[in-house]
Amino acid sequence: MDKHDLIALRHEFHRFPETGFSETRTKARVAEILRDLGLEVYEGAGVVGLLRRGGGNRAIGLRADMDALPITEKSTHAYVSQQSGVMHACGHDGHLTMLLGAAAALAQDAGFDGTVVFLFQPNEEHGLGAQAMISEGVLERFPISEVYAIHNLPGAPLGHVLTRPGQICASESLFSIDITGQGGHASMPHVGRDAITVGAEMVQALQTIVARKLPPGAGAVVSVTEFLTDGQRNVLPGHATLKGDVRARVPEDRMKVASLIKQIAGGIAEAHGVSASVSFDTEFIETINSEEPVQAVVWAARRTGLDVDGACMPMSFSEDFAHFCAAVPGCFLLMGNGTEGACGQPLHADDYDFNDDLLPIGAAFWAQLVRDRLPATEKGPEHV
């Protein structure tokens, strides 16, 4: 595929976005392209394409996410979303196009020895797609020694690669605190046990977790995002629910935050004579890169002519590629989407767009990484 082919394909995916576990059209199109390229194709929760060369028994995995977001697009370009209320606002249309471009290039290439496992994954946005593929047995059926994934990064120079060994993306956990008191008349608050006052105290106290109970620089974030009650104009609520989001860089901090939320909620509830129950569910675990795959990415980026930062700062967002990295050595990397116009808008913005100029860059990087990691000769790059 040349650049024009890649752009046309990406625009096609952009016009017909689909949310997590509903990527029916996208999956069918991906499978069709892979079969046309001569790959073995397997369909389940996602789509897997196998490309074999030579007699080598080594295999590596390359992953792209496919899902879109429930966002109404505000763009005015010619390939705006045709699905009402759904938009590729995170660049997954570009991610899967780059990987398909790499598959097309490698299908014509005899310069590697081994197997490339192309993993097209559903439902990254809700943190469920990687685990769904793993639970189906994708890693047992198609064993790989290492795995890689790219995500575009708006605001970074076009094609600039950022990665790091160790933790690169935070975990995301969702918590809920249900408070049960005694509702009453707004003119007589002393008669009941007002859940909204108790909840407000909890909101304030939860902010001390990061500020006073974790080491400075821990990088954890605790945010209350919803405050729901059954109160009315002149009715003090007897029930309130707080919901929120927690990000953490290491599992130890995540577990400590969970314990402290329960401790704070229980203590305040007891002090006010009400009851409180807490749930804490981790949807995205921390993404942990392995040293050797990171060095492989740095080497391949340089050989592709890209600027690379192999020791970038950890990111505060979450990525469900973490589940693949927890199963086999892996590397998650970011690739600059550019700084101008819609390409520089934040991810998940309703006027964001993937940069078409990144498509051939990403495809070339993927192909170089495969040649490096599955060399046709016995000896690969000296430092890898």
CA–CA distance, 310 with 295 (Å, rounded to integer): 8
Inside any domain, residue 384:
no
325-364: pLDDT as tens digits: 999 999 999 999 999 999 999 999 999 999 999 999 999 9
Query: Binning pLDDT at 50, 70 and 90, where does residue 377 land?
Result: confident
Radius of gyration of the CA atoms of the chain, in A = 24
Sheet holding 171-180, edge to edge: 221-229, 239-248, 171-180, 275-284
Inside any domain, residue 195:
yes
Q: What is the pTM of this model?
A: 0.92
User: Is residue 380 predicted with pLDDT exceeding 90?
Assistant: no
Mean pLDDT score of the chain, rounded to an integer?
96
DSSP 143-212: --SEEEEEEEETTSPTT-EE--SEEEE-EEEEEEEEEE-B-EETT-TTTSB-HHHHHHHHHHHHTHIIII
φ, ψ of residue 262 in degrees (nearest 5):
-65, -40
Question: Among 253, 284, 315, which residue terminates a domain?
Answer: 284
Query: Binning pLDDT at 50, 70 and 90, where does residue 378 land?
Result: low
User: Is residue 379 predicted with pLDDT exceeding 60?
Assistant: no
Number of domains in the chain: 2
What's the mean pLDDT in 128-145?
97
pLDDT given for residue 122 in this prediction: 98
51-96: pLDDT as tens digits: 999 989 999 999 999 999 999 999 999 999 999 999 999 999 999 9
- What does the block give as tokens for 207? 């902010």
Structural element, H or E, at residue 25: helix 24-36
**130 lies in the same domain as 20:** yes
* Domain interval for residue 94: 3-168+288-373
User: Which CATH number belongs to the domain containing residue 150 in this structure?
Assistant: 3.40.630.10
Q: Could you tell me how many residues make up the chain?
A: 384
Question: Among 284, 309, 337, which residue terminates a domain?
Answer: 284
Question: Among 284, 310, 325, which residue terminates a domain?
Answer: 284
**324 lies in the same domain as 346:** yes
Q: Which amino acid is at 344?
A: G
Inside any domain, residue 193:
yes
CA–CA distance, 139 with 133 (Å, rounded to integer): 8
Give SS3 for 116.
strand
CB within 8 Å of 361: residues ≥ 6 apart: 158, 159, 304, 306, 335
pLDDT given for residue 110 in this prediction: 78
pLDDT given for residue 76 in this prediction: 93
Query: Binning pLDDT at 50, 70 and 90, where does residue 111 land?
Result: confident
223-255: pLDDT as tens digits: 999 999 999 999 999 999 999 999 999 999 999
